[in-house]
Chains A and B, each alone.
Chain A
Amino acid sequence: MNTDTPTRPPRLELIGITKAYPSVIANQDVNLVVRAGEIHAVLGENGAGKSTLMKIIYGVTKPDSGSVLWDNREVSIDSPAQARKIGIGMVFQHFSLFETLTVAENISLALDSAIAPNQLAQRITEVSEQYGLPIDPHRLIHSMSVGERQRVEIVRCLLNNPRLLIMDEPTSVLTPQAVLKLFETLRRLAAEGCSILYISHKLDEIQALCDKATILRGGRVTGTAIPSEETRESLAQMMIGRSLPECQMAPQAPAETRLSVKQLSLPTIDPFGTPLKNINLDVRSGEIVGIAGISGNGQKELMAALSGEHPMPKGATTTICGVTADRLSPGQRRDLGLRFVPEERLGRGAVPSMSLRLNALLTSGTGDGLVNNGLISYSKVRAFAQDVIARFNVKCGGDEALASSLSGGNLQKFIVGREIAQRPKVMIVAQPTWGVDVGAAQIIRQALIDLRNEGVAVLVVSEELEELFMICDRIAVIADGRLSPAIPAAETSVEKIGLWMSGAFEDAKVEEVQHA
């Protein structure tokens, strides 16, 4: 850790940055100083305005007011190209890579000076080796894992010789082990004088890596800190204005198996998808089973197969509450008591352009008499929607508000609430709290635990290990389309699950069989 940071010259300085959108003020009077060679965290929960601020620095978005100083000189960054020119690089949370192009082509698109293709490939190899980020310049992006793609993004920045590197939530796509490697790379860069702006909402990472932190809440700076000198509690206090909420969960013995999948192998028709390989999974009444894994390892395909959106292949057997469900459609599975909350809220879990009322009807057509003889009973639909809104404290402009007008957290509460209100026997939730603020995340997690306490079989897919350890009775890992055995959360650790996330659970399976 650098102790002499304050004496170093400031590289980037933001003064009074304000940016307002019609419905929300993303940044208000934000001040920020990043010094040369400093790893500076911008800490804040979802919706705190971190991403907007980074886009302003990178020239993607223009601030309404305020000034940006670069090496003590005021600059106006109008475009990413200009940002790169003065030495700013950015690794996006949602990568800005082109799937059908090669690594070299992708990198060449972001270089402002044209380099001959063969020279470029050589430069890519050099830089990637120098910083411990091995990549093959001739591979197509869509054949690469998310972790590899991140390396491409980083190498792409490094080739522009940045003096400030912005990393936006970089660890959500990495296994815990890969996170440590990334930190090494970042420390090396900082030691060479490159400043790093590290955007995250993960307190322990920031404490482990960053020299300095600026904390945002509701678009305003609520404090600056030296993370190593703070406690988790004090950082959380600054980030959300109170201490981190905890979930209430007592141990409980599970009962009968309610969801069972045997030998599910699923080739993918999407050329950019992941085929599933021999997946076996049981979820019992009264337990929460979590599936950990880096996204893109088959979660999407597994969910679609379980929900019935993708027809089950021959040879696999699925039973829901004891009934064979292989050939059943999503609606028929719902009738059996299987309820599903998909990862994509707008466009899949809810129709953006429709009111909450009609969205309540989306998955409730066969239950509770909302539809009689093919006719919609609008009064009942309305009552149902209002009930969900009230029970789950969904902040919205009433049941006629459009789904697209809700914040991520409120829409997720609505969707989860809608499914819970239909009294599920099996509940499947993908990424329950992705992009959701801490308050809503707490409500959603507690709702899932309550379901489990009532005897529902709950399956949760999440990229956040911390979340899974918080609410799961058993945890399995999905890697490259294969699913590990589910082991009791109490008997495993973040490290072990992390190892499994890179696919190293084949031996473990044998081990478990021997135990049994």
Chain B
Amino acid sequence: MPRLERRPQPSKAMMFASPLIAAVLMLVTGYILFSIMGKDPLQAFWVFFIKPLTTSYGISEWLLKSTPLILCGVGLAIGFRARVFNIGAEGQFTMGAIAAGGVALYFYNTEAFWVLPLMMLAGVLGGMAWAAIPAFLRTRFNTNEILVTLMLVYVAQLFLGYLVQGPWRDPEGFNFPQSKMFTDVETIPALIEGFRVNWAFIVALVLVAVSWFFSFKMFAGFRMEVSGQAPDAARYAGFSEKRNVWFALLISGGLAGFAGMAEVAGPIGQLQPTISPGYGFAAIIVAYVGRLHPLGVLLGSLLLSLLYLGGDTAQMDLNLPSAITGLFQGLLLFYLLAADIFIHYRLKPKQSEPRTTFMPPPEPEGDIT
């Protein structure tokens, strides 16, 4: 086994190369997988990754599906930088959708221009409220936010199920568990007539820029970064941990809530028991693959969105299970984590002295990273 040695400085090049390496390894695995399943790998690749983008409709779908990923991913990345692990974006997404849907149904016949902005506000607040629970519990009772945010995903989904099967069910919906279709004024306008991608995508792009400005130009962003990388240093510097936790959770929750609103007030157009193919969880992968950097999140979202589309076309054209999307997502994250070791380590030419186990050499000081 080749030995690794610690680089004197982490490699900047590897920081950028590692997501690419991960993507390539994912493709290699895909090649093997497709071969095993008796499909022509090159054709499968074409169907999976190229074909969806060959039509203008396909491109619209691509951007449409990337929108919730960008929104959730940007928020999560801000939190992860500060080591606030909100992994329940899926739940905040759902609550945002519920809150927005509630507004839409309440003002169903109003037909007023302000309903849509109110729905947006409700979506953001719904997501924030759901994220405020773990924020409160962590700052007040020291409760681990990973477990709480995750548990709340299930609660939110069950709540949505309860609403669309009970009080909010469309009375004329042939008993299907879904709400009434939202009206035109309750739907986010399309970006281009005839395509489903809507203005939420533009909002997401703006938020990428805002998040970049916050993370790299503002002292508040620096504070959060310090808290993430060295909590003791943050305490020493006097950066409030509580403020970080609240901020990270409210921002990521609000953005996820907005994404949920954009989904039900966009492509779906109503509330139904399932409103997300796991965008909130995929956004975790997006955040990591994007190096917790807003621009990276944008690129990561486009990649994962393509995986969703590819899964669909592969199911139609090649009769492959669409679950392959989830498999690719998971693989991508694993490969990324593994490739990241080359940021801090490099291969060392083999020495004469044989070694059976790999032992990275020490840092200048301390045994624990």
Contact = CB atoms under 8 A, between A and B. Distances in A.
A and B in direct contact, judged by CB atoms within 8 A? yes
Nearest to A354: B229
Given A349-B233, A362-B237, A374 B8 contact: no
Contacts of B226: 351, 354, 362
Given A347-B232, A361-B222, A405-B9, A22 B238 contact: no
Interface stretch (A173-181, A338-346, A497-505): A338-346
Interface in A361-414: 361-363, 365, 371, 374-376, 397, 401-402, 404-408
B233 A350 contact: yes
Contact of B236 (A330, A354, A406): A330
Interface residues of B, number: 31
A405 B364 contact: yes
B9 A374 contact: no
Contacts of B353: 62, 64
B235 interface: yes
Contacts of B239: 331
A374 B220 contact: yes
B349 interface: no
B229 A353 contact: yes
Contacts of B238: 308-309, 329-334
Interface string B216-256: 01111011011001101101111110000000000000000
Interface in B1-44: 5-10
Given A307-B236, A347-B233, A376 B365 contact: no
Contacts of B5: 22
Contacts of B366: 346
Nearest to A402: B9
Interface string A35-79: 000000000000000000000000000101000000000000000
Given A347-B232, A351-B226, A375-B219, A363 B237 contact: yes
A197 interface: no
B233 A371 contact: no
Contacts of A21: 361-362
B363 interface: yes
Contacts of B219: 365, 371, 374-376
Given A351-B226, A351-B230, A408-B365, A22 B6 contact: yes
Contacts of B232: 344, 347-348
A353 B232 CA distance: 13
A404 B218 contact: no
Interface centre among A361, A404, A406 (most CB of B within 10 A): A404
A49 B217 CA distance: 43
A410 to B, nearest CB: 10
A23 interface: yes
Contact of B361 (A22, A362, A402): A22
Contacts of A199: none
A340 B233 CA distance: 12
A21 B220 CA distance: 38
Interface in A1-42: 21-24
A476 B19 CA distance: 56
Contact of A407 (B8, B9, B220, B364): B364
Secondary structure of the A side of the interface? loop
A371 B365 CA distance: 31
A485 to B, nearest CB: 29
Indicate the member of A353, A362, A402, A405 with the most B CB atoms within 10 Å: A362
A376 B222 CA distance: 9
A358 interface: yes
B229 A348 contact: no
A474 to B, nearest CB: 26
B14 to A, nearest CB: 14
A404 B258 CA distance: 40
A85 B331 CA distance: 46
Contacts of B240: 329
Given A330-B238, A405-B364, A358 B220 contact: no
A352 interface: yes
Nearest to B351: A64
Contacts of B364: 23-24, 404-407
**Among B5, B9, B225, B365: residue with most chain A CB under 10 A:** B365
B230 A348 contact: yes
B217 A375 contact: yes
Contacts of B361: 21-22
Contact of A405 (B8, B217, B222, B235): B8
A307 B238 CA distance: 9
A353 B7 CA distance: 13
- B220, B362, B364, B366 — which one has the most chain A CB atoms within 10 A of its CB? B364
Contacts of A358: 222
Nearest to B221: A376
A333 B236 CA distance: 11
A271 to B, nearest CB: 15
B236 A351 contact: no
Contacts of A307: 236
A333 B217 CA distance: 25
B365 to A, nearest CB: 6
A62 B218 CA distance: 47
Nearest to A309: B235
Contacts of A404: 363-365
Contact of A348 (B7, B8, B218, B233): B233
Nearest to A21: B361
Contacts of B233: 347-351, 362
A21 B10 CA distance: 16
Contacts of A350: 230, 233
B49 to A, nearest CB: 35
Contacts of B237: 330-331, 362-363, 365
Contacts of B220: 374
A465 B284 CA distance: 52
A374 B232 CA distance: 22
Interface string A317-338: 0000000000001111110000
Contacts of A397: 9
A354 B6 CA distance: 17
Contacts of A344: 232
Contacts of A62: 353
A329 B236 CA distance: 10
Nearest to A308: B238
Nearest to A355: B9
B265 to A, nearest CB: 33
A332 B240 CA distance: 12
Contacts of B362: 21
8 contacts: A22-B6, A22-B8, A331-B237, A344-B232, A351-B229, A354-B225, A354-B229, A376-B219
Interface of A: 21-24, 62, 64, 307-309, 329-334, 340, 342, 344, 346-354, 358, 361-363, 365, 371, 374-376, 397, 401-402, 404-408, 435
Q: Give 6 closest A-B pairs by Cβ, nearest first.
A: A330-B238, A331-B238, A348-B232, A351-B230, A371-B219, A351-B233
Given A62-B353, A346-B366, 17 more contacts: A21-B362, A22-B8, A23-B364, A330-B237, A342-B236, A347-B233, A348-B235, A348-B236, A349-B236, A352-B230, A362-B236, A362-B237, A365-B219, A374-B218, A375-B218, A397-B9, A401-B9
